[in-house]
Amino acid sequence: MRKLKLQVQMTIDGFVSGPNRELDWMWIPGGRDEAGFRKVIELADSCDTILLGRNMTREFIDHWESVVDNQPDSPEQPLAQLMVNMRKIVFSRTQTDIKGRNLEVENGDLATVVQALKKEHGKDIMVYGGANFASSLISLNFVDEYYIFVNPVAIGKGLSIFKEQKIMKLESSNAYKHGKVLNKYLPV
């Protein structure tokens, strides 16, 4: 059975975005850490399907397709190619058609669809968000591996993906340049 992996950026005070979905805290001074970026590519490459909530889809699709189409010299190009070429399934209760390469919209029952996807043959499945969508998957106990990039910043208030107590086992922890730490957790 395929694993469902959740990869998120988080503040040290446990938020995945600001109260108005701000993400400006993710870009801390000092530039990108190459080792951390390679890890993100490695995680993406272990999967062949991305699940997304509708709220974050437009920005996600537009960003990665723009990098592929308009920024051939971008250092993000290897990750952008993966993001654009991978199968993407957007879960929405309101929309039936969202434009994007290798993108399909799913309006069915989340639990039923995710259980069926996990039984398909192939590589693992990656979830990047948004916050409410990730919360739904966490509440349903569908996440097999949590990859939480903890950023060295506190924002005081924002959106959390955890709505109830979850006990997890720390599988690994890696510190990166500029203070980011990647913690891999497994559900207990």
Which amino acid is located at 145 in the chain?
E
- For 134-174, write each residue's pLDDT tens digit: 999 999 999 999 999 999 999 999 999 999 999 999 999 99
Write out the CATH class of domain 4-187.
Answer: alpha beta
d(C-alpha 144, C-alpha 134), whole Å: 12
Mean pLDDT value of segment 6-21? 95
- For 30-40, write each residue's pLDDT tens digit: 667 889 999 99
pLDDT at residue 82 tops 90: yes
pLDDT at residue 177 tops 90: no
Residue 4's H or E segment, with its range, is: strand 4-11
Mean pLDDT value of segment 31-54? 93
- For 84-127, write each residue's pLDDT tens digit: 999 999 999 999 999 999 999 999 999 999 999 999 999 999 99
